[in-house]
Amino acid sequence: MCGIAGLIHKKAGGANIGKEMTDMLQALKHRGPDSTGYALYGSPISNYIVRINLAEQADTKKGFDVANQLQSRSDQVDARMVELGAKVSKKENQTSYALRYELSFDGDLKNLIDYVEDIEGVEVMSCGNGLELIKDLGDAAVVSAQYDINSFQGSHAIGHTRMATESDVDIRSAHPYWAYPFADVSVVHNGQLTNYWTNRRALERLGNRFNSNCDSELIAVYIANRISDGDDLETAMRRSIEDLDGVFTYLVATSDSLGMAKDVMAAKPMVIYESDDFIALASEEVSIRSIFDHEIDTFDPYEGEVRVWQL
Amino acid sequence: MATVSTSGQSHDMGLHTEKLTNRTQQRFFDAGESANFTYAWAPEVDTNKVGTLDCEGMDPTAINIRIRELMDEGCGTINLSNPGSMHALCVGILNRLQLNVTGSLGYFGCGLIDGPNVNISGRVGWSCGENMMAGTIVIEKNAGSTFGAAIRGGDLVCRGDVGSRTGIDQKGGTIIVGGKTGAFTGFMMQRGRMIILGDAGMNLGDSMYDGTIYVGGKIEGLGVDAIPADLNDLDRKWLKSKLDLYGMETPNGIDNMQKIVAGKQLWNYDNLEPSEKKLVL
């Protein structure tokens, strides 16, 4: 079933979007308790923020010499970054398997990502100047406590609670998906894509990478591919309504915008609250109400509708 | 309120044109009998006795139980506040009751009801009034998709816009939408009437078996087996009385409303040979 949510603060300075998104996602827990993910956008910095997973959570709880394996992978990531000329200014171990880097790099970002991902078990979750992409198993309360999300200040965010239907319960199949290799672009999705393999094969032939078997990853790759072909975000999203088959409602966030698209069958829900300086959208109104202590006016977007809000 | 209770009038409106044969039986609905119907075990309530229910901090099950307790105490009017867009509130009420909701409901609000009159000051989520048998629900703001799914009777009114698949599988009663409605409105509709004062999305009345849809705005497209029909005097009279009842007006006047009915080319679909189905579709 899955639940998706997004919010955007237009006023300068932003707000405590970490707490707001946690409340919204926790209110959607009944739509999917398997995993929870956040794409939070803070104030952009000059360096890149790169989030890396060294292993699946389940793999860190079994097997021989796991701690040393993780340390070895972490060392290899550091070495490969230095080898390609990246200057790491900050490195944090958020969990035993999740790393957060701040680094400066003048070369081809895609090359760096590909080289780091070539290490066995290592996945680059996201890269950007403001994007913090965090996803893990459990509900929003668990994940937000694990990654200390509730104090995060920023301008906009999207989030996801997952009920696994077509792929595994693991971190790589959790949302959001980063639109590799484009900095600061992320996607969350509620629905099923029925022409996943046709599109995946076509996109793989063009050189795009897929890290999971989750149909939602296709949307991130599709959007990235359209942007690389010169489309702007809204055009790419409008085109996706034609090219993607099945039932879907999805959200895309970039460094300065947030968009939603709904398929022509309108089979997956979305509710929107809009005011002059704040926009919130979610699969259910009860999610938006979790950040308001009073009644609000909301509306549903219609079939085939695409909306994009700018910061 | 004037009711259309004779089979002759409903045939004139195009509601009962089917010719049933063999073992099929048809029993015409008696509006008067329905209006006076109460369940033998339903509690005696007095509309002048008012109960209040603040939902703050309560879960949906506790709220629905409390509504029943108030009715058992004789409350014929209940003022419910702070519903917080929770799902499955005010469901399964099978009794006379005036229920005034201040706020918004989530999914499946007022589902499976038979008899109460409900006013909702906010909006409702998906599937409001699903399987409603009798009574009225009036929503002041917008509504989500599958509004009035499979309703069998009563009036379901939304003064704002509604989502897609409004009145899917409708089997009776009346759905009134003050604003727009989305795609597949009246999908597989079997009986009853729907009034859309604004625009209707694509595939209006797709695969409808019977029933009537009146549209005051633009229709983006008709679905399979949905066809336009001419408004007659009885339609106009009924539309006026129904809209007057809820203080609603159609933007271009009743005379300019479009009437959509089933083409019935898919009627008795199962009797068609596969090659004939293709011709029909």
For the stretch B105-149, pLDDT in tens is 999 999 999 999 999 999 999 999 999 999 999 999 999 999 999
* Torsion over CA: A83, A87, A93, A98 (sign): negative
Same domain flag for A254 and A150: yes
Is the minimum CB–CB distance between B106 and chain A shorter than 8 Å?
Answer: yes
Same domain flag for A149 and A247: yes
Question: A3: which strand partners?
Answer: A161
Peptide bond connecting A176 to the previous residue in cis, omega within 30 degrees of 0: yes
- Would you place residue A61 in the very low, low, confident or very high pLDDT band (cuts 50, 70, 90)? confident
Q: What is the mean pLDDT of residues B59-65?
A: 97
pLDDT for residue B17 is more than 70: no
Same domain flag for A56 and A150: no
pLDDT at A204: 94
Same domain flag for A253 and A304: yes
pLDDT at B29: 56
All residues of chain A having their beta carbon less than 8 Å from the beta carbon of residue B125 are: 269, 271, 284-285
Instruction: Quote the domain boundaries for residue A91.
Output: 45-128
Tell me the CATH number at A108: 3.30.70.1110
Same domain flag for A299 and A256: yes
Nearest to A300 among B102, B103, B142 (CB): B142
Given A128, A161, A196, the domain boundary residue is A128
Same domain flag for A30 and A57: no
Closest chain A CA to residue B166 = A266
Average pLDDT value for chain A: 94
Same domain flag for A33 and A52: no
Structure tokens at A244: 């993607």
Give the model confidence (pLDDT) of A23-35 as tens digits. 999 999 999 999 9
Nearest to B125 among A264, A284, A302 (CB): A284
Question: A99: which strand partners?
Answer: A52, A93
Given A70, A99, A128, the domain boundary residue is A128
Tell me the CATH number at A244: 3.60.20.10
Looking at this predicted complex, what is its ipTM? 0.88
Same domain flag for A148 and A219: yes
Same domain flag for A57 and A188: no
Q: Where are the beta strands (DSSP E) in B95-158?
A: 98-102, 114-120, 134-139, 155-158
A247 contact partners, CB below 8 Å, separation of at least 6: A191, A192, A263, A265, A267, A268
Cβ contact B164–A297 (<8 Å) = no
**How far apart are alpha carbons A264 and A287 in whole angstroms?**
24
Q: In what order do the strands lie in the sheet with B46-54?
A: B46-54, B75-81, B98-102, B114-120, B134-139, B155-158, B171-177, B191-196, B212-215, B258-262, B226-229
pLDDT for residue B16 is more than 80: no
All residues of chain A having their beta carbon less than 8 Å from the beta carbon of residue B179 are: none
Residue A219 sits at the vertex; the CA angle it makes with A216 and A225, to the nearest 5 degrees, is 145
Contact status, residue B248 vs residue B230, Cβ threshold 8 Å: no
Structure tokens at B112: 């499976």
Give the model confidence (pLDDT) of A93-145 as tens digits. 989 999 999 999 999 999 999 999 999 999 999 999 999 999 999 999 999 99
pLDDT for residue A5 is more than 60: yes
Cβ contact B183–A271 (<8 Å) = no
Cβ contact A266–B86 (<8 Å) = no
Identify whether A214 is a catalytic site residue.
no
pLDDT above 70: percentage of residues in chain B: 82
What's at B270, amino acid-wise? Answer: D
Same domain flag for A188 and A51: no
Same domain flag for A198 and A283: yes
pLDDT for residue B1 is more than 80: no
Nearest to A269 among B84, B121, B145 (CB): B145
Cβ contact B123–A298 (<8 Å) = yes
pLDDT at B2: 40
| Number of separate domains in chain A | 2
Indicate which of A281, A291, A293, A295 best probes the interface with B, i.e. most B CBs within 10 Å of its own CB: A295
Structure tokens at B132: 């409603």
Same domain flag for A193 and A255: yes
Given A66, A98, A128, the domain boundary residue is A128
pTM: 0.90
Of the ranges A21-35, A280-294, B13-27, B167-181, which one carries the lowest mean pLDDT score? B13-27
